[in-house]
Every structure is written in structure tokens, then in C-alpha cells.
Amino acid sequence: MNQSILTNILTPNPPPLIGVPTLATLAFGGSDLSDIADGLLARITENAFDANALMDSAIVLLLRGNPQQARAMQQLAISSQQLYHYPHPATPAKVRVLAIFGPGDLMANSPLEFLLENQPVALDLLYVTPELGLPEVLPAHDVLMVAVGESDQNQALLAQLARELTDWPRPVINHPNRISQLSRDGVYSQLSKLSGIVIPPTLRVSRETLEHCCAASASGTALATQLAAVAFPVIVRPVDSHAGEGLRKIETPAELAAYLTDSVEAEFFISNFVDYRSADGRFRKCRIMLIDGRAYVSHMAVSSRWMVHYLNADMLASAEHRNEEARFMESFASGFALRHRAALQAIHQQLGLEYVGIDCAETPDGQLLVFEVDSNMVVHNMDPAETFPYKKLWMPKLFSAFTEMLLRHATAG
């Protein structure tokens, strides 16, 4: 472990919040975080209300694969203290941001800590729950950003925030009413009629409905007559699942019945499978961020598998794939973004969000294929420079664009 980082973390009187980027970068680089975990535990033992230590411990537990313990630790932190002052950059801050966070794992909120890496921004994180609304006293800020991501669990919180942020005296980035519409079926409903976009019909269905469809299909009734516009092969996933968890491509009613037998969830999203492989037989999927309507690339993955996630796409092992990603990022503004400019602008206007991410690809006939849209997609610059040197050039451009967006809205406000 980097000794200077460890020394700063374990320095007392009083230790500030360590935060997600430092801890995640250490974990991403192979550290087991044992020294930090022990130091945080010692602080909590000495002072059970050390909210910074409690919050950092929750992050460490998440990074070490202990989500239940992490949730409990995070709850203790939030009950002790709602507001967390993030370590400010060495350069003078040009804009003060108050970010509203909700409880949850590292994908529950917009990754502002990563987005503001080395940026001249003062960031305060305010954790809010349905039980703990906005406190009466808040820090001075130039803009407020709602970082809470869409999920079933967060719908009540987003509705609460929409009420509390009515007539807010400062500019609000990503209004909660807009975020609440980013469920998979909600995104399909909003984007399906836009030109230049392919988005497969996505329906939210109960276990009972799918079981009934399996039985009906076995007796000769096609699945498409039970779930309008959906036909085999289909993609099925549990509601609120991410990163491919529980995601399956299903070819037949018998496969669907077997999938349900192996699953415990009560509700699922089901959609048509779109074969988006390129002429060479490989699948390519990219993550782009719309910042005030302008597209910036976060990554592009190449894989022989249809279910493409950056971590399973052999990007680390394949120099060929990395070289292709480097070319894609270099030509993004004059290539992909230009080809789909009208479609991306239409998405921005429809969603009404200042900051939002899109996981997407291109169909064989050149249309924009949309898989998922979220305001809390993970965006970072943790990939090692020796393996991904091109990212050290392009990711800071995305981060700077995000900061410029904050400054624009702060000035307008």
C-alpha cells in the first residue's frame, strides 16, 4: 500500500472522511484494506459516534464483499450524522456543490466523488432517507445536485425530495421527478418513439405472469400473445438488478420455467433480445455520459459474449481490445457522437436531465441501440496508466466537462 496514503488516513485529530475514490483505488489496485479497516475500527471503538469512521468502514465493507454489514454500518453513520464534508482539492474551489445521497451500495448514487477528481469543486454529501429528510441548517452552496439513483427502494425518497426541493433558492441539477422515470420500462416508454433509436420493448412482470405464460406456451399459446410485443429469444432480469446479476437470455418456455425455478425474486423485467454483433462476430458496447446534452465517452468494451460488461470483456488481457477502445475514444466526437447526434439530442430533450449515462451500441444497420439509461452509472479513472494510458487523457476531459456544467448552472442561478 502507498505509505503516504496510509499515513494520511491514520493521522488523528480529527481524521477527515477518506472517501470512495481513495478506498476504491486502493482496492482496485489489489490492497486488502486490512490496515485501514483496523484503524477505522480502533476509532469507532474509541468513539462510537465517529461518523466519518463509520461511513468509511461501510465503504471498506462494500469493497471487501460484505454488503449486509456495510448497510448496517452505513445506517449507524447516517443516524449519527447526515452531512459529510468531502476532502476538498488543493486548488481553490470555483463552485460549491451540495449533493443529496441516499443509502445504498456504491451504485446507489451518482459517482460524484470520482467525477470531481482533481476538480476545483467543494463537495458536501448530504444523506437523506424517508425518515430523515432535509435538515433545517444546510451548508452554503452554489448548486444542489440530486445524486440518488432510480430504484424501487428509492422511489419514495425521490418523491419526498421532489416535494422538499420545490422552489429551491439555488439551481437544482437532476430533478428527482426526472430521475424517478429512469426505470427500465420507464426509459422504454420515453424513448421508444424517438427516431434513430432502437430500444427493445421492456415490460415489468410478476413471477405469476411469467409462470402463466410458460404454462400457456407449453399448451400451444405463444408467449407473445401473453406479453404484447415480446417474443423469444428474450432477456430476463430481476427488478433493480445491475451488472448482469440474474440476467439471462432465454430461448424457450422450458428455459424460462427453469430460470424461474432457480430464482427467488417476485418481479422481473423482460425484453426482446437484439442481436447486435458486428461483422466480425464480436459484440461492442459503450458507456456514454450526456452532460447538458453533450456526449462524452466513458468506455467501450469488446467481447465474444452477448452480455458485455467491461470487467468480463477481457479488456485487461487483450491488447487488441484496448487498442480498439483507444481508437474509439479518440474518434468519438467525430465518429460515434456525430453519427448519433440527433438521437442523443432527442434523448436529452426527452429525459430533461443535466447529467445521465447511457449503455448503448450500434445495430448492424447503424442505429443507436439503447440498453440502459441511468443517472448513477459508475464512471471512474482508476484503470492503471501503464495498461490504459489513453484513459488518462480522455477521462479528465469528461470530468472537466462535468465541472463546467456545474459552473454554468451556478452562474445562471
CA distances from 137 to 32, 102, 301, 367 (A): 38, 18, 45, 49
CA distances from 278 to 317, 338, 360 (A): 21, 20, 14
pLDDT tens across the length of the chain (413 residues): 444 444 444 445 668 999 999 999 999 989 989 999 999 999 999 999 999 999 999 999 999 999 999 999 999 999 999 999 987 776 789 999 999 999 999 999 999 999 998 899 999 999 999 999 899 999 999 999 999 999 999 999 999 999 999 999 999 999 999 999 999 999 999 999 999 999 999 999 999 888 887 776 655 444 545 565 677 889 999 987 776 678 999 988 888 889 999 888 999 999 999 999 999 999 999 999 999 999 999 999 999 999 888 887 889 999 999 999 999 999 999 999 999 999 999 999 999 999 999 999 999 999 999 999 999 999 999 999 999 999 999 999 999 999 999 999 999 87
pLDDT the model gives residue 211:
86
The third-level CATH classification (topology) of the domain covering 201-272 is Dna Ligase; domain 1 (3.30.1490)
Give dist(CA 264, CA 329) in Å, integer. 40
| Contact in structure between 330 and 263 (CB atoms under 8 Å) | no
Give dist(CA 302, CA 310) in Å, integer. 8
Nearest residue to 143 via CA among 97, 186, 178: 97
The yes-or-no answer to whether 201-272 and 283-412 have a common fold is no
Nearby residues of 199 by Cβ (< 8 Å), 6 or more positions away: 187, 188, 191, 192, 369, 370
Where is 320: in which H helix or E strand?
helix 319-330
Q: Where are the alpha helices (DSSP H) in 167-283?
A: 176-179, 184-191, 207-218, 223-226, 253-262
pLDDT the model gives residue 223:
54
Give dist(CA 70, CA 26) in Å, integer. 18
SS (H, E, C) 49-63: CCHHHHHHHHHHHHH
pLDDT the model gives residue 221:
46
Give dist(CA 212, CA 190) in Å, integer. 28
Give dist(CA 74, CA 69) in Å, integer. 9
Query: What is the rounded end-to-end Cα distance, in angstroms, of the chain?
Result: 43
The domain spans of the chain are 1-80, 201-272, 283-412
Give dist(CA 91, CA 134) in Å, integer. 29
Nearest residue to 101 via CA among 48, 47, 154: 154
Nearby residues of 174 by Cβ (< 8 Å), 6 or more positions away: 110, 145, 146, 147, 353, 354, 355, 356, 375
Nearest residue to 234 via CA among 263, 213, 262: 213
| Contact in structure between 120 and 109 (CB atoms under 8 Å) | no
CA distances from 313 to 112, 153, 323, 324, 375 (A): 25, 30, 14, 13, 23
Question: DSSP readout, 35-47?
Answer: HHHHHHHHHHHH-
Nearby residues of 255 by Cβ (< 8 Å), 6 or more positions away: none
Nearby residues of 9 by Cβ (< 8 Å), 6 or more positions away: 15, 18, 22, 36, 39
In 292-343, DSSP assigns E strands to: 294-303
Q: Please provide the CATH number assigned to the domain covering 283-412.
A: 3.30.470.20
pLDDT the model gives residue 264:
87
Q: What are phi and psi of 163, to 5 degrees?
A: -70, -45
Give dist(CA 328, CA 51) in Å, integer. 43
| Contact in structure between 88 and 16 (CB atoms under 8 Å) | no
Please give the grid coordinates belonging to residue 321: 481490445
Give dist(CA 124, CA 127) in Å, integer. 10
